[in-house]
């Protein structure tokens, strides 16, 4: 049985990644971090935000290409691909708006002097699957939605972003758009009409991201996943739609990243865990879970390093 160290979103924080790999017992041999018995599974979101994005790629890519690690695609790799892909209808699949540029500029700058490497890296991003299902272990960036996963399989027969899938996912009217939104960015629901809240950037939002795994949640406020200071502004009214995912305890453990968790790393259910404690944020952590084949996850299997500086 292969054991894995499952590592959350890195976002250009190469120093913390090196520290965590060393802490987990990986050693750099011929320029590639490796472990005699264990492998890493990365949850995606290698890029955007941090100061060492190219260095992160230079660490994770050889590990993956050389068989010492697996990885899924994060929403930031998806965005990078869409940003660089021309839309046959004009412009790019992801708009080069001020907001999108701001989020992505540090990545573009890191490769500004090397267009060939930039383009080659984007085609490598496309080789990252949208999810991994090993039978006894499941990995996805944001939300394990079995219906959407089945729809992808029914239509594309595999978990990769083909050119057609990529193109169709850029348009809201297509199910492909919804699939990427949910699998890579998380499940959202609309607030009751007239209700809104302010997000991290201070933008007014009428939709909330929800704790899709939280079976006991009944109200908008229970399900809300977002900044703590916004919680009192979320209505404590029952949600009538059936929007949560019934991921029951008999299913294999699933790991995700993406959500900026707070406090000490711990599981969300006996078979569900998030490993993103937002290392891109001051006081964030880079978190790993060391999986030895167990169905029932154990809080003692988390390891982390604190954000530098
Ligand atoms: Mn993400």
Radius of gyration, CA atoms only, the chain: 19
pLDDT band with cut points at 50, 70 and 90 for residue 267: very high
Q: Which residue ranges make up each domain of the chain?
A: 4-187+245-306, 188-242
Ligand 1: centre distance to CA 239 (Å): 25
Q: Is the dihedral of CA 250, 251, 253, 256 positive or negative?
A: negative
**pLDDT of residue 199 exceeding 90:** no
Matching residue, tokens 């496309």? 126
State pLDDT tens for residues 22-41. Answer: 999 999 999 999 999 999 99
**Cα 5 to middle of ligand 1, angstroms:** 19
HSE, side-chain direction, 13 A CA sphere, residue 8? 28
In the reported structure, the alpha carbon of residue 41 is separated from the centroid of ligand 1 by a whole-number distance in angstroms of 15
Question: What is the DSSP secondary-structure string of 136-193?
Answer: S-EEESS---HHHHHHHHHHHSSSS--HHHHHHTTSTTSHHHHHHIIIII--EEEPST
Burial 249-275 (b: 16+ CB within 10 A, else e): eeeebbbbbbbbbeeebebbbebbbbb
* % of the chain exceeding 90 in pLDDT: 92
Question: Which residue in 3, 33, 32 sits closest to 20, CA to CA?
Answer: 33
Distance (Å) from CA 276 to ligand 1 centroid: 9
- Specify the pLDDT at position 227: 83
201: pLDDT strictly greater than 80: no
**Beta strand 254-256 pairing with 207-209:** unpaired
Q: Is the per-residue pLDDT at 163 higher than 90? A: yes
30 CA distance to ligand 1 middle (Å): 31
| Model confidence band, residue 202 (pLDDT cutoffs 50, 70, 90) | confident
CA distance 119 to 111: 9
Ligand 1 center to 237 CA (angstroms): 28
Residues ≥6 apart with Cβ < 8 Å to 309: none
Neighbours of ion ligand 1 (CB under 5 A): 45, 74-75, 258
CB atoms within 10 A of CB 246: 10
The SS3 call for residue 121 is: helix
184 Cα–ligand 1 center, Å: 7
Tell the CATH topology of 4-187+245-306: Purple Acid Phosphatase; chain A, domain 2 (3.60.21)
pLDDT (tens digit, 9 = 90+) per residue, 276-291? 999 998 889 999 999 9
> Residue 111: which pLDDT band, with cuts at 50, 70 and 90?
very high
- Per-residue model confidence (pLDDT) at position 306: 96
């Amino acid at each position: 049985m292969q054991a894995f160290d499952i590592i959350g979103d890195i976002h250009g924080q190469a120093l913390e990644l090196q520290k965590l790999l060393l802490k987990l017992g990986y050693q750099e041999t011929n320029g590639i971090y490796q472990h005699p018995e264990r492998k890493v599974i990365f949850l995606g979101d290698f890029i955007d935000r941090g100061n060492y994005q190219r260095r992160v790629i230079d660490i994770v890519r050889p590990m993956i290409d050389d068989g010492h690690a697996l990885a899924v695609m994060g929403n930031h790799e998806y965005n990078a691909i869409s940003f660089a892909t021309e839309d046959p209808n004009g412009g790019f699949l992801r708009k080069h708006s001020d907001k999108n540029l701001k989020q992505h500029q540090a990545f573009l700058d890191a490769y500004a002097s090397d267009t060939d490497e930039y383009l080659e890296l984007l085609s490598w991003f496309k080789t990252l699957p949208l999810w991994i299902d090993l039978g006894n272990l499941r990995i996805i960036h944001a939300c394990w939605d079995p219906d959407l996963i089945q729809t992808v399989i029914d239509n594309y027969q595999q978990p990769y972003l083909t050119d057609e899938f990529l193109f169709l996912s850029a348009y809201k009217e297509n199910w492909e758009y919804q699939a990427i939104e949910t699998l890579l960015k998380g499940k959202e629901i609309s607030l009751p009409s007239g209700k809104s809240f302010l997000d991290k950037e201070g933008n007014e939002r009428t939709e909330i991201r929800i704790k899709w795994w939280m079976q006991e949640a009944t109200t908008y406020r229970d399900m809300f996943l977002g900044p703590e200071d916004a919680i009192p502004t979320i209505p404590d009214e029952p949600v009538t739609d059936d929007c949560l995912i019934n991921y029951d305890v008999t299913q294999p453990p699933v790991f995700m990243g993406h959500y900026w968790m707070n406090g000490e790393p711990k599981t969300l259910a006996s078979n569900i865990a998030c490993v993103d404690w937002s290392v891109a944020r001051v006081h964030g952590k880079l978190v790993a879970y060391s999986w030895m084949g167990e169905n029932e996850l154990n809080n003692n299997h988390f390891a982390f390093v604190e954000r530098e500086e």
